[in-house]
Structure 1
Amino acid sequence: MRISLPNLRNLLLASALPMAAALSSAPALADEGMWTFDAFPAEQMRKDYGFAPDRQWLDRVRASAVRLTGGCSASFVSPAGLILTNHHCVVDCAQNLSTQDKDLVARGFIAATRTEERKCPGQQAEVVTAISDVSGAVKGAMGTLEGEARIKARDGKIAEIEKAGCTDTATTRCQVVTLFGGGQYKLYTYRKYSDVRLVWAPEFQAAFFGGDPDNFNYPRYALDASFLRAYENGKPVKVASFLKWSPRAPKVGEATFVVGNPGSTQRLFTSDQLAFQREVSLPITLAVYSELRGRLLTAMEQSAEKKREGADTLFGIENSLKVFIGRQKALNDPGFVKTLADNEATLKQRSAGNAAIGDPWGDVAKSVGAYREVYLPYRFINPQSDLYDYAHTLVRVAIERTKPNGERLPGYTDSALPLLEKQLLDERPIYPWLEQLRLEWSFSKAREYLGADDPDTRLMLGSESPEGLAERLVGGSTLADPAVRKALLEGGEAAIEASKDPLIVYARLIEARDRALQKLVDERYQGPLSAAGAKLADARFAAYGDTLYPDATFTLRVSYGKVQGWKERGQEVTPVTTMGGAFERATGNEPFVLASAFTANAAKIDKATPYDFVTTNDIIGGNSGSPVVDRTGAVIGAAFDGNIHSLGGNYGYQGDVNRTVVVSTAAVEQALETIYPAPALVRELKGR
């Protein structure tokens, strides 16, 4: 499961996810739920499994869980800051550290000593240290305000709370999270580590054996695991809490916990919000990204170097396409949609006659209707490319830093700036051909959907073609140089206004319209949804009580389930595969080619070793790298995917078929000992 959490704006555009999601789903069933740590359903689990973890267990596991800012989850597995996660969560780091002569993605990476561990550009590891309820303060600031004024009041109060909560921004990060569509606001405080280094990663072919055909499918034979390490002041971090490494075979039926940061779900959407996804946002997303995939594949065929440089981007595009295809399929399934509609009807019925709640469903419908009118220009006004992202960020930072903290846009407040600046200034390679390809695609899709005569198209393109504009912007820019970016960042508005860099000039050109569209969205869409979401939260709490789980928000959650297969077309699917199965599955043709180290060490590998397994745990994108923990609190695997049925999990959980796919610690240790030897790492994991 390729997990890449996009920025707030792209998250809104890709899924039409409002800041205040509406509530419509029924109470959780057994094994369903991505639970916050301060509201774990111990009584329900005890009823389902005969036991439940106590507060001490939960606190220890919480303190061992890690959030990676690239959009993944992870966990500490040694007192020296060693972090277990997925290979696909570090592939971007490996790509950034690779050269034409030394491809760390294709060949893998092993740091024989800690001095050889390599810093990952833009990466940050975060551990939750506290969760506090700030609902009263945020709701009080909004009061009875409406539209854009409501959003400004909310964002201003959130900025104030975050700044007050984290005065030491060098080591802490504060984030106020909206839960239950505005029913709750929680302040999450993190201990952060901004120096994260690559320790061990297998060959890409081992981690992604089966390629795109096997992605979101099972049985699987993938070594999708890697290790990072957190550093501070140039030394490995000493952590008080970490998970015990347990390289044992999973037992069918045993209870398992997945601890991580699910990115986003839309299980609490109303029927109008789901209709928007089915009718507008998903079809556009599938069409435009399918074309991007085609353009990229064609370009990558031109040379071996382009194939290497574009591989990570292609990997992400293909994964995203599969996700969105799965979502579209779920929303076109009459039975699945009927279940969601029936849940909404039940909530409406239970809320009938409650004057305090009124008709928030009608309010959501109006706001979604208004969003349809501005969606296309809002989606396409900013082109996509890393260089343009740098330019857009630099222009916006220069403007926002001149304002009081409480008046800034989200993402540019004092609490957010340290990470933004790190990601802006960390050195990493830029591939001009790929930048130009993505800009050409962005400009052409904007013109296609908006029309050649649309004012926004004219603003974006002027008299130039998508191809000519992209070539001019990339060819004349120096933003690939981090020293240039640093000078512009430190120079502020004066440096930005004086810059002749074509991408900075272009970002300045787009900025006013971008802000105007955001203002429209806040006024007509986000503001009304914020008010409606709070009322829908009240309706749900009144109907079902407050022991519920909210939609995913890329914040720490825990789910419980068990090791268990399922029936596929009448056939039982085995819950555990073995390493020997990879040899049987190999055909010698891509993508079913064994990694070179597997074939070289075939005689040494214990082929009975458990490789991958499935559980009933409820997860979603963002959970990649999450530790899979047994009832003793030991880690027995790392979640890396879901089966094909899990793609509908964005909207609802189906316990009979939804499955989490896990790489076992037994397979990882076998690899560390036999296939990609890392003896020092094995000793560290075993506490020697």
Structure 2
Amino acid sequence: MWLPMLIKRLNYTDMQKQGLKLTAEEIYSVNNSSLKDAIVQFGGFCTAEFISPEGLLLTNHHCGYGQIQSHSTPEHDYLTNGFWATSRDKELPNEGLFVDILVRMDDVTGKVLEGISNNTSDQERAQLVGQRMQAIAKEASNNGQYVSYVRDFFNGNEFYLFVYERFNDVRLVGTPPSSIGKYGGDTDNWMWPRHTGDFSMFRVYMSPDGKPAAYSDKNVPYKPKHHLPINIGNREPGDFSMVFGFPGRTKRFMTSHGLKLEVDQLNKSRIKLRNDKLNLWKEEMDKSDATRIKYASKYASTSNYYKYSIGQNEGIKRMRTIEGKIVDEDKFQNWANADATRKATYGNLLNDINEAYTNIEKYNLGTVYLNEAILGTESLMMAYRLMPLYSTLKSGDQAAAKKAVEDLKPRVDAFFKDYYMPADKKVFAALMKYYSQDIPKDQQPDAFKAMVKKFNGNFEKLADHVYSNSVVVTEQKLRDFLNNPTQKKLDNDPAYQIVSSIIDNYRNNIAPKLAESNAKLDKANRLYVAGLRQMNPDKVFYPDANSTLRLSYGSIQDYSPQDGVMYNYYTTLEGVMAKEDPTNEEFIVPAKLKELYNKKDYGQYANDKGELVVNFITNNDITGGNSGSPVINGKGELTGLAFDGNWEAMTGDLVYDPDYKRCINMDSRYILFIIDKYAGASNLISEMTIVKTDSPGVGDAAEASAAPATPQAELLDAAMQEANEKLRAGKTEFKIEKKQGKAKVKLQVKD
């Protein structure tokens, strides 16, 4: 997961050997158009890319799922039926959705660490680093024109500034039905082979003067500095492949002590809590379409990392990752002890790390259960959102209280739109029981223990009490409260009593103990990573992911998950049909798709064998946040859309597995086939740049597909190529005429 600005120095020669045909400046440049200008951070949690000169964005179906769900009703069920805007005025706005487009990144390590040494006290270092990071970011924001921040890398050994333009008018343009976009559902999640059409489309808008702006019907489509041509040629194993996106978080420098905590405590707890929540939600979702739609996005999000935690534990055990870390740590300790100066700096680090994790383990469940059980219960989350209002009521600041109420009102609208009390009540009873049983009693607040005792440990009765008396469980009660909020009402509200007592207890009694240990751990980890880099001066290290723009390069590859089994590198529409099960919502195939399959009506999107490729795999390094990232060939053309990783390599956040790691991608030909043949959205196809050349293999130049059979076709190809060049240059009105013998092609393009 390489920083694009460092590609020229660290990776370019290796990338060329593997099949890259671009220059380093064509990948990342501040002053000229480059690939980085086509990549955006989507909503702060996914990646998307421009695929037209008119601001058209491509990302995953699951990245746009919340927006698709928000526009869906039983009468207009876009989740089930899909949605396609046939004209710009039909594109749907999405309040709160934004994209960030990178302007530049800068190495500011020298500015942040100036005058700081190993002799600087931890407190002074933290204060200086924090102040400088904030000051650098503030200056780069140019009085709020840009979103800017400084992130630390290599556990606080390096620092980089990132400057973005943020656009807040992002509209839904198209999405296939969930039977395509989520084909395989939870059953196939994290699995290969896959047959999923995981994509959706949005458009970014700007003000008429080209600036970011809030939604307005006067806004115009954004004109990106670069958009990705879409390649529909053939691919082969070994073809160069890179993934450009915003991977979320990895912790690959974590020691064996941290890995043990992840496996034995954190993942096991998440699996248990999410399993019950998902099962209880599903019971209610199966009873009505209205509830299914309300909980569709929440269920998908919770399920995703529930399954991930299971796969991660299995992968760490299979790879013997902890045992491998111990070997590496022994080597580090021997290296540190071999020199007096090194021993003074690094000799006790592993002991410090072990001690910190031992203390963290005592209190860490409080953090997990706070996030998964307390704030993972919808009514308690809403009660938690009342805490700022409570503070203003307690202080008697009427102006602040009025503002807090106004801030809450839009949240109330959004909350109850996707809330079903019977489902939440069941979840509350189950998760509160786990909290009572699993958290040490001396870490539970007295108010919670008293409430449990009042109902003799019967959590169904506790749920009856809370959901009969709290203001947060029905829309009318909450609105009535907000019309006349008082401190006394919240003091007597059972949901508020539970969440406020647990939050206050966590802040006052658990968080300080964790903070002390985490500060010790942070310092030891920073020095440990510095020591690892010093111990291996010839190794090129990459930093952990931290939601900043990264590039991963590799190739298309198949793999063998176990003895006697070999997985091919691509799947086809044949596999979609083979999995069809009309009785299982995860494997329903739309009638129109079956019709196209039966006719083999694939058009120009079939491969040279006449197959319609659906998904393919590469060995690119990805993690959460990479969802929606473009898969790009050696010439800078989009060949696919990354949407998942494989089960055998769920250890990816903690350790990279070179033998098993695969990035699962939706093939660009299937994307265009769905838009064109299935949806008939020719208006979208017409604004894209589509090329048909075979992807360049390792060290091989790309070869053009078979020459057109007629002079007219040759002329049309030439005219289209010239038109695309003019469009990329920003021209929107022009005429092209080509003649050859008696054949003639005329092409007129207007904005």
TM-score normalised by the chain length of structure 2: 0.76
* SS of 1:181 mapped into structure 2: coil
Partner of 1:54: 23
Counterpart of 2:418 (choices 430, 441, 446) is 430
Instruction: Tell me, in whole angstroms, the C-alpha distance in 2 between the residues paired with 1:472 and 1:108.
Output: 41
Give the direction of change, closer, same or farther, for the CA distance of 1:631–1:497 in structure 2 (3 Å limit).
Answer: farther
Partner of 2:543: 550
Partner of 1:96: 70
Asked if residue 344 in structure 1 is aligned to residue 329 in structure 2, the reply is yes
Counterpart of 2:526 (choices 530, 534, 541) is 534
Give the direction of change, closer, same or farther, for the CA distance of 1:213–1:92 in structure 2 (3 Å limit).
Answer: same
Give the direction of change, closer, same or farther, for the CA distance of 1:644–1:155 in structure 2 (3 Å limit).
Answer: same
Partner of 2:140: 165
Give the direction of change, closer, same or farther, for the CA distance of 1:146–1:614 in structure 2 (3 Å limit).
Answer: same
* SS of 2:587 mapped into structure 1: coil
Instruction: Tell me, in whole angstroms, the C-alpha distance in 1 between the residues paired with 2:463 and 2:84.
Output: 39
Partner of 2:289: 304
Root-mean-square deviation (CA), in Å?
3.6
Greater RCO, CA 8 A, separation 6+: 1
* SS of 1:535 mapped into structure 2: helix
Asked if residue 380 in structure 1 is aligned to residue 383 in structure 2, the reply is no
Partner of 1:523: 515
Residue range with higher mean Cα deviation, 568-577 or 148-157? 148-157
Shift of 1:277: 1.1
Instruction: Tell me, in whole angstroms, the C-alpha distance in 1 between the residues paired with 2:412 and 2:158.
Output: 35
Counterpart of 2:158 (choices 184, 192, 199) is 184
Instruction: Tell me, in whole angstroms, the C-alpha distance in 2 between the residues paired with 1:469 and 1:53.
Output: 64
Partner of 2:731: none
Instruction: Tell me, in whole angstroms, the C-alpha distance in 2 between the residues paired with 1:55 and 1:348.
Output: 39
Deviation string for 1:562-603 (max 9, x for gaps)? 111112432332112222332233244423321343124443
Shift of 1:477: 4.0
Give the direction of change, closer, same or farther, for the CA distance of 1:578–1:378 in structure 2 (3 Å limit).
Answer: closer
* SS of 2:170 mapped into structure 1: strand
* SS of 1:623 mapped into structure 2: coil
Q: Could you tell me which amino acid in structure 2 is paired with residue 102 of structure 1?
A: H
Instruction: Tell me, in whole angstroms, the C-alpha distance in 2 between the residues paired with 1:547 and 1:397.
Output: 51
Give the direction of change, closer, same or farther, for the CA distance of 1:548–1:375 in structure 2 (3 Å limit).
Answer: same
Partner of 1:314: 299
Counterpart of 2:348 (choices 346, 349, 359) is 359
* SS of 2:346 mapped into structure 1: coil
Partner of 1:597: 592
Instruction: Tell me, in whole angstroms, the C-alpha distance in 2 between the residues paired with 1:516 and 1:681.
Output: 55
Instruction: Tell me, in whole angstroms, the C-alpha distance in 1 between the residues paired with 2:636 and 2:463.
Output: 52
**Mapping of 1:143-542 within 5 angstroms?**
154-169=129-144, 172-232=146-206, 233=213, 234=216, 235=219, 236-333=221-318, 335-352=320-337, 353=339, 354=342, 355-381=344-370, 382-385=374-377, 388-389=380-381, 392=384, 395=387, 427=414, 429-433=417-421, 434-450=423-439, 455-456=444-445, 458-459=447-448, 462=451, 463=454, 466-467=459-460, 476-477=470-471, 500=490, 502=493, 508-517=500-509, 519-521=511-513, 523-542=515-534
Give the direction of change, closer, same or farther, for the CA distance of 1:215–1:160 in structure 2 (3 Å limit).
Answer: same
Asked if residue 133 in structure 1 is aligned to residue 133 in structure 2, the reply is no
Give the direction of change, closer, same or farther, for the CA distance of 1:496–1:251 in structure 2 (3 Å limit).
Answer: farther
Q: Contact conserved, 1:451 with 1:457, CA < 8 A, in 2?
A: no
Q: Contact conserved, 1:627 with 1:637, CA < 8 A, in 2?
A: yes
Give the direction of change, closer, same or farther, for the CA distance of 1:339–1:73 in structure 2 (3 Å limit).
Answer: same
Partner of 1:37: 4
Deviation string for 1:625-677 (max 9, x for gaps)? 10001111111110011121221222222222211111111111111111112
Instruction: Tell me, in whole angstroms, the C-alpha distance in 2 between the residues paired with 1:468 and 1:70.
Output: 40
Shift of 1:297: 2.1
Deviation string for 1:169-197 (max 9, x for gaps)? 4x522232222112222222211112221
Give the direction of change, closer, same or farther, for the CA distance of 1:529–1:136 in structure 2 (3 Å limit).
Answer: farther
Q: Could you tell me which amino acid in structure 2 is paired with residue 213 of structure 1?
A: T
Partner of 1:18: none
Q: Could you tell me which amino acid in structure 1 is paired with residue 27 of structure 2?
A: L
Partner of 1:609: 612
Instruction: Tell me, in whole angstroms, the C-alpha distance in 2 between the residues paired with 1:52 and 1:495.
Output: 64
Rg larger in structure: 2
Shift of 1:339: 2.9
Q: Could you tell me which amino acid in structure 2 is paired with residue 164 of structure 1?
A: E
Structure 1: which 5+ runs fail to align? 1-33, 401-419
Instruction: Tell me, in whole angstroms, the C-alpha distance in 1 between the residues paired with 2:459 and 2:114.
Output: 47
Q: Contact conserved, 2:444 with 2:505, CA < 8 A, in 1?
A: no
Instruction: Tell me, in whole angstroms, the C-alpha distance in 2 between the residues paired with 1:222 and 1:72.
Output: 18
Shift of 1:222: 1.1
Instruction: Tell me, in whole angstroms, the C-alpha distance in 2 between the residues paired with 1:109 and 1:184.
Output: 45
* SS of 2:652 mapped into structure 1: helix
Identity among equivalent positions (%) equals 23
Instruction: Tell me, in whole angstroms, the C-alpha distance in 2 between the residues paired with 1:119 and 1:188.
Output: 27
Deviation string for 1:294-352 (max 9, x for gaps)? 22222223333223322332222332122101111122236443333333333333333
Instruction: Tell me, in whole angstroms, the C-alpha distance in 2 between the residues paired with 1:178 and 1:36.
Output: 13
Give the direction of change, closer, same or farther, for the CA distance of 1:333–1:285 in structure 2 (3 Å limit).
Answer: same
Shift of 1:47: 7.3
Deviation string for 1:31-83 (max 9, x for gaps)? xxx11112323256247526574331222111211112352111111222211
Q: Could you tell me which amino acid in structure 2 is paired with residue 330 of structure 1?
A: G
Residue range with higher mean Cα deviation, 339-348 or 620-629? 339-348
Instruction: Tell me, in whole angstroms, the C-alpha distance in 1 between the residues paired with 2:158 and 2:239.
Output: 34
Instruction: Tell me, in whole angstroms, the C-alpha distance in 2 between the residues paired with 1:166 and 1:178.
Output: 18
* SS of 1:619 mapped into structure 2: coil
* SS of 1:263 mapped into structure 2: coil
Q: Could you tell me which amino acid in structure 1 is paired with residue 146 of structure 2?
A: T
Residue range with higher mean Cα deviation, 128-137 or 616-625? 128-137
Q: Contact conserved, 2:20 with 2:634, CA < 8 A, in 1?
A: no
Instruction: Tell me, in whole angstroms, the C-alpha distance in 2 between the residues paired with 1:677 and 1:48.
Output: 41
Q: Contact conserved, 2:43 with 2:99, CA < 8 A, in 1?
A: yes
Instruction: Tell me, in whole angstroms, the C-alpha distance in 1 between the residues paired with 2:13 and 2:259.
Output: 29
Instruction: Tell me, in whole angstroms, the C-alpha distance in 2 between the residues paired with 1:646 and 1:422.
Output: 43
Counterpart of 1:580 (choices 574, 578, 589) is 574
Partner of 1:669: 672
Instruction: Tell me, in whole angstroms, the C-alpha distance in 1 between the residues paired with 2:413 and 2:47.
Output: 21
Give the direction of change, closer, same or farther, for the CA distance of 1:219–1:645 in structure 2 (3 Å limit).
Answer: same
TM-score normalised by the chain length of structure 1: 0.82
How many pairs are equivalent?
Answer: 631
Shift of 1:392: 3.6
Partner of 2:627: 624
Shift of 1:161: 3.7
Deviation string for 1:357-388 (max 9, x for gaps)? 33221111111111112212233344324564
* SS of 1:87 mapped into structure 2: coil
Structure 2: which 5+ runs fail to align? 29-33, 207-212, 393-406, 690-723, 725-748
Q: Could you tell me which amino acid in structure 2 is paired with residue 595 of structure 1?
A: P
